[in-house]
Amino acid sequence: MSKRALITGITGQDGMYLAELLHEKGYDVFGLVAGQNNLRTQLFTESHPYVEMISGNLLDLMSLIRAVAHAKPDEVYNLGALSFVASSWQNARLTSDVTGGGVLNILEAIHFFQDSSGQDVRFYQASSSEMFGKAQQVPQAESTPFWPRSPYGVAKVYGHYMTINYRESYGMHASSGVLFNHESPYRGTEFVTRKISQSVARIKLGLQNTVTLGNLDAQRDWGFAGDYAEAMWLMLQQDEADDYVIATGETHSIRDLLDIAFDEIGVSEWHDHVDINPAFVRPAEVSLLVGDSSKARDKLGWRPKVGFDELVRMMVRHDVDDQSKRAAGAL
Ligand code: GDR
């Protein structure tokens, strides 16, 4: 019989890669969607007709109890969150409730389902390198203490410890993936990699002349989202639940990103195309985030396949194609 998986946040970047991966592996895939039908959900259902969508919301425990009872999942992947760090200062309460409290709700729904049905469910929590924040150790591994620097980071720490607590309290197979930044052509355009790849594509096509950014010295450990979806799945195939850092182990600045993105369109001097606006600088920045994923490499046999240069070029090429079609009225 096919395995069954329920994914929250399925219409986001990671949800798409994970849904595709699980479908290829023969799973029946269910996706939780909040609210009414919107354009994003509509596009997702058109491109992923094999996913059964279930209406529900991480803020609404009863809706989660119903969703889990309907999906009867072997595995639940909690990818749903308010995930844009910069806006978490403006929406601190909502971010705490969805990104933090939502984890408790889905854990409760699974715990209730396990108790009432006798069926075991494995759980994946999308934890984040933002939990390290003002990190006291470089690189950061599973044992590195947390010092979150945004309401988003604080909420993720809550979800992380709640996941561990359900594992320790009830013996749940609950694992947490501490994922560093991971990007792709599916990335939302508010995040810096896609903001840059889309703008660079538009600059190439003469549709805009500049991109406006914040702190160009910020550095991140950027990997490819498709590789990271595989790590999520691997965690739930282990006999024992555990926590794993998933990262490339390399760090790059926004300037490095700009070098490669502009090089892809044949522009070597990008300074005339970049404006700085302090509105994009955050009230508090994280320090040097770079992950040590030795544990995942040893225990899961996981390693990233797509490097930084290839990732940035892939995103720019995708956006040149996408923007050309839009400009021609084909999309
Ligand atoms: P991040 O991703 O906050 O690391 O969280 P983001 O791409 O938003 O920012 C990365 C860095 O770029 C700097 N930056 C800008 N960022 C944005 N968005 N827009 C700009 O114009 C800009 N200019 C400079 C930022 O200051 C920052 O330092 C992502 C999210 O996916 C989280 O949900 C996830 O948990 C972490 O990665 C791991």
Give yes or no: residues 76 and 215 share one domain. no
Q: Which atom of ligand 1 is nearest to the CA of 282?
A: 26
Give yes or no: residues 167 and 257 share one domain. no
* Residue closest to 78 by CA, chosen among 33, 31, 37, 125: 125
Give yes or no: residues 178 and 259 share one domain. no
Please identify which of the residues 17, 77, 124, 152 carries the catalytic annotation: 152
- Per-residue model confidence as pLDDT tens digits over 234-288: 999 999 999 999 999 999 999 999 999 999 999 999 999 999 999 998 898 887 8
Residue 255 falls inside a structural domain: yes
CATH of the domain at 202: 3.90.25.10
Residue 104 falls inside a structural domain: yes
* pTM for this entry: 0.97
Give yes or no: residues 177 and 114 share one domain. yes
State residue 40's pLDDT score: 87
Give yes or no: residues 65 and 79 share one domain. yes
Residue 303 falls inside a structural domain: no
Which structural domain, as residue segments, surrounds residue 51? 4-183+222-246
State residue 36's pLDDT score: 72
Residue 67 falls inside a structural domain: yes
Q: Where are the beta strands (DSSP E) in 9-92?
A: 28-33, 52-55, 75-78
Per-residue pLDDT band for 330 (boundaries 50, 70, 90) equals: confident
CATH of the domain at 31: 3.40.50.720
The answer to which of 28-37, 139-148, 232-241, 252-261 has the lowest mean pLDDT is 28-37
Residue 292 falls inside a structural domain: no
More reliable by pLDDT, 78 or 38? 78
Residue 202 falls inside a structural domain: yes
Query: Is the pLDDT confidence value at 22 over 80?
Result: yes
Give yes or no: residues 149 and 207 share one domain. no
- Is 176 in the active site? no
Per the structure, how many domains does the chain have?
A: 2
- Per-residue model confidence as pLDDT tens digits over 109-127: 999 999 999 999 999 999 9
* Residue closest to 58 by CA, chosen among 42, 34, 91, 40: 34
State residue 288's pLDDT score: 87
* Residue closest to 145 by CA, chosen among 153, 156, 133: 133
Give, for ligand 1, the residue of 192, 224, 315 to mutate: max count of ligand atoms closer than 8 Å to Cβ. 192
**Ligand 1 neighbourhood includes 215 CB (under 6 angstroms):** yes
State residue 276's pLDDT score: 96
**Ligand 1 neighbourhood includes 178 CB (under 6 angstroms):** no
Give yes or no: residues 131 and 197 share one domain. no
Give yes or no: residues 73 and 131 share one domain. yes
**Ligand 1 neighbourhood includes 86 CB (under 6 angstroms):** yes
Give yes or no: residues 206 and 79 share one domain. no
What ipTM score was computed for the predicted complex, to two decimals? Answer: 0.99
For ligand 1, atom 29, the nearest C-alpha belongs to 181
Do 187 and 252 touch, CB atoms closer than 8 A?
no
**Ligand 1 neighbourhood includes 191 CB (under 6 angstroms):** yes
Please identify which of the residues 96, 128, 150, 199 carries the catalytic annotation: 128
Residue 302 falls inside a structural domain: no
First to last CA, the chain: 39
State residue 284's pLDDT score: 87
Do 236 and 75 touch, CB atoms closer than 8 A?
yes
Give yes or no: residues 143 and 198 share one domain. no
Give yes or no: residues 175 and 207 share one domain. no
- Is 128 in the active site? yes
For ligand 1, atom 5, the nearest C-alpha belongs to 85
Residue 296 falls inside a structural domain: no
Give yes or no: residues 176 and 197 share one domain. no
